[in-house]
Amino acid sequence: MITALPFDISSANAEHDSLPHILLVLDQFPKTLGGGERIVLRLASLLPQYGYRASILTFSIHPESDLPQPVPCPIYLLPLKRTYDLTAFRGAFELRRFLRQQHVQIVQTFFESSDLWAGFVTKALSDARLIWSRRDMGILRTRKHHAAYRLMAKTPDAVFAVSEEVRQHCIEVDRVAPARVQTIYNGLDLADWTAPRPDKDPGSTHITTVGNIRRVKGHDVFIRAAAALAPQFPGASFSIAGAVLDPAYFAELESLVRDLNLSGRFHFSGSVSNLRKHLATADMFVLPSRSEGFSNAIVEAMAASLPVVATRVGGNAEAVEEGVSGLLVPPDDAAALAAAIARLLGNPAEAKSMGEAGRRRVSESFTTEAMMRRITATYEHLLSST
């Protein structure tokens, strides 16, 4: 049974029945929201400004989920634990009824179960158009997921890939026709990322990374790089900002900090409520990920005028211009990461220049306006061809 969740809805985004209705479907709202969930909420908040009505459907919501209040649009729950049992079969007809009653014209899905199950139901049982939103290189997929994506390659009317690397993955691995897949980078409002920098002691520098704590983020590599840098740069401190999603991995990181004698130099900041303020305390941003689709954190750091050192994975090289707005290193290479950080610590003028170049790049390529212009152009095309 699909039920409306009892959240306060932003008055700025009240429903307008006359507007084309876009349903954003995602697998879950976990206790700690990740980048994907936040993008869904942000898109929902923006759509009314561009002439669309938005709703969100999810299959699960954690009772302590840190959803913002008020939420930007109605959120509906269709409880679903498996996509192949009797409950899922009944849920398919519930979803069909919902799409018809709510006059949904476009369904945009995020993550595997939404892409595959909700996507199949949408195309098989309704007249709504389907868009897949692909954010990664399939790091969470099982073998069944890989097979299903290939079998359903012709199902979506369009696919939004968060980077060119992800787009190529959709084409080459999932075998989606190239004409259906387009790269749409996440955008932000540059004016929101200007914050005063606190005074610091001469010679002190702070290097940070932002990302929920799980192994794919490569935080252990960052800690090893910090240990190599500590003797050469006694004024440098290091931090990780992010919620703990993998407690076992977090315990490993804490142990590694102790074993490498970094307890006074390396800090775990937890989930920060004000990322702008946190980035304003930093002098450099590091992203040591083992895999990425496209990192929101990199773009936010560049918007905050920070030089970036990132691994050359996924769409990182599409955000960071090597030698211009930052430096790129191989993944799982603590020595290379340390060398890149040392280069910028030893050359403050170059680091400042890279930070300024990064902010210019955001203004040119990664704005909300650019993102929404491309998204709504596809909506208009799909609606005009129905």
> What distances in angstroms separate CA 88 from CA 85, 92, 94, 111, 117, one per listed residue?
5, 6, 9, 17, 9
- Give φ, ψ of 24 to 5 degrees: -100, 120
* Region of residue 253 (phi > 0: left; psi between -120 and 50: alpha; otherwise: beta): alpha
- Same domain (yes/no): 355, 378: no
Cis ω on the peptide bond leading into residue 6 (within 30° of 0)?
no
Query: Across the chain, which distance is largest between two alpha carbons, in Å?
Result: 66
Query: Do 211 and 150 share a structural domain?
Result: no
Distances (CA, A) of 361 to 80, 149, 209, 242, 313: 41, 34, 20, 25, 19
Residue 132: closest CA among 112, 148, 147: 112
Residue owning tokens 């290193």 = 329
Contact 150, 138 (CB under 8 A): no
Tokens of 360: 């210019």
Among candidate residues 96, 67, 76, 64, the one with its CA nearest the CA of residue 24? 76
- Write the single-letter amino acid at 100: R
Do residue 135 and residue 248 come from a single domain?
Answer: no
| pLDDT at res. 12 | 55
Chain Cα centroid distance, residue 347 = 31
Q: Are residues 209 and 226 in the same domain?
A: yes
Helix 348-365 to helix 334-345 angle (10° resolution) is 100
* pLDDT of the residue at 105: 97
Shared domain check, 326 and 272? yes
- Residues β-bridged to residue 240: 209, 268
Q: Are 91 and 78 in contact (CB under 8 A)?
A: yes
155 Ramachandran zone, left/alpha/beta (phi>0; psi -120 to 50): alpha
Which pLDDT score, from 0 to 100, does residue 14 have?
A: 54
Picking from 281, 295, 274, the residue whose alpha carbon sits closest to that of residue 136 is 295
Confidence (pLDDT) at 191: 87
Quickly list H helices, 272-333.
Answer: 275-280, 296-303, 316-319
77 and 93 in a common domain: yes
Neighbours of 247 (CB within 10 A): 9
- Judgement on whether residues 151 and 29 belong to the same structural domain of the protein: yes
Q: Are residues 209 and 346 both part of a single domain?
A: yes
pLDDT, averaged in runs of 10, over the chain (386 residues): 87 69 96 90 95 96 91 94 85 96 97 94 96 87 88 96 94 96 94 80 91 95 98 96 95 97 95 90 96 92 97 94 97 98 97 97 94 97 88
Q: Which two tokens stand for residue 217?
A: 């983020």
**Predicted local distance difference test score (pLDDT) of residue 273:** 83
The residues facing 76 across adjacent strands are 4, 57
Shared domain check, 201 and 180: no
Q: Which domain holds residue 171?
A: 3-186+368-384
Helix, strand, coil proportions of the chain in percent (round to 5)? 45, 20, 40
CATH of the domain at 43: 3.40.50.2000
> For residues 187 and 160, is the Cβ–Cβ distance under 8 A?
no
Q: Are residues 39 and 169 in the same domain?
A: yes
Are 169 and 230 members of one domain?
no
Q: Are 60 and 79 within 8 A, CB to CB?
A: yes
Do 177 and 290 have their domain in common? no
Total domains in the chain come to: 2
Computed on alpha carbons and rounded to an integer, the radius of gyration of the chain in Å comes to 22
Cα–Cα nearest to 105, from 171, 36, 21, 42:
21
